[in-house]
Amino acid sequence: MDTRAPQKSDITYAAVFAGALGSATVALLFLAVDGFRGNMFYTPSLLGSVLALGMAPSEVTQIRIDMVALYSIFHLVAFTAVGVVASLVHAMPTREARSLPVLAGGIMAIFSVAVVTTDALLVPGIAQSIGLLPLLLANALAAAAMAWFIHTTLQESGASEAIAALTTTPSGSRVPGEAV
């Protein structure tokens, strides 16, 4: 395994592509859900209209491609931000931080808090308008895809091992306060 010093480019690559992968996973799932319901692009149009125009979910009656595009950009940026956090956590020198299930669970927790907060504080009823089951499924699939990509990418780059090596003293002992 490559033990070179961690590069910002490794973490940036993992973060950006994981965000894009997670965002695309959710978009494709809702494209299928909306198609099955006979309302292609309803979900991103609903979310774009609610967030950008301040409409109540019940007021959104037509699909607006401009709102689909606007929300898609917002969604990609938000998922990339989650990818940055997850990549930085995964690169930490603790065994727990590098665990694929822990990483996926952490990403899912971030998504869950975001959904609950948005529904409770910003746009009451939005989760119900979208559908709780598709929302949970989409976020779970996105979390799994993002975690897998980050884990695979950073393990292959050696970034996690290199960061761990940076926290070891010359005598071989761990830096005080660092988990093993």
Position 40 in a domain: yes
Would you call 78 exposed, middle or buried from its count of C-beta atoms within 10 A (0-12, 13-18, 19+)?
middle
pLDDT at 163 over 90: no
Q: What is the pTM of this model?
A: 0.81
CA distance 65 to 124: 23
Inter-CA distances, 174 with 47, 55, 83, 170, Å: 47, 54, 28, 9
> Is residue 73 included in any domain, yes or no?
yes
Whether 2 is covered by a domain: the verdict is no
* Residue 118 is assigned to a structural domain of this protein: yes
Predicted pLDDT at 64: 97
Spatial separation of the C-alpha atoms in residues 135 and 110, rounded to whole Å: 14
Is 114 part of any domain?
A: yes
Asked if residue 153 belongs to a domain, the reply is: yes
**How many domains is the chain partitioned into structurally?**
1
45, pLDDT greater than 60: yes
Instruction: Round the average pLDDT of the chain to a whole number and report it.
Output: 85
Structural domain of 12: 8-164
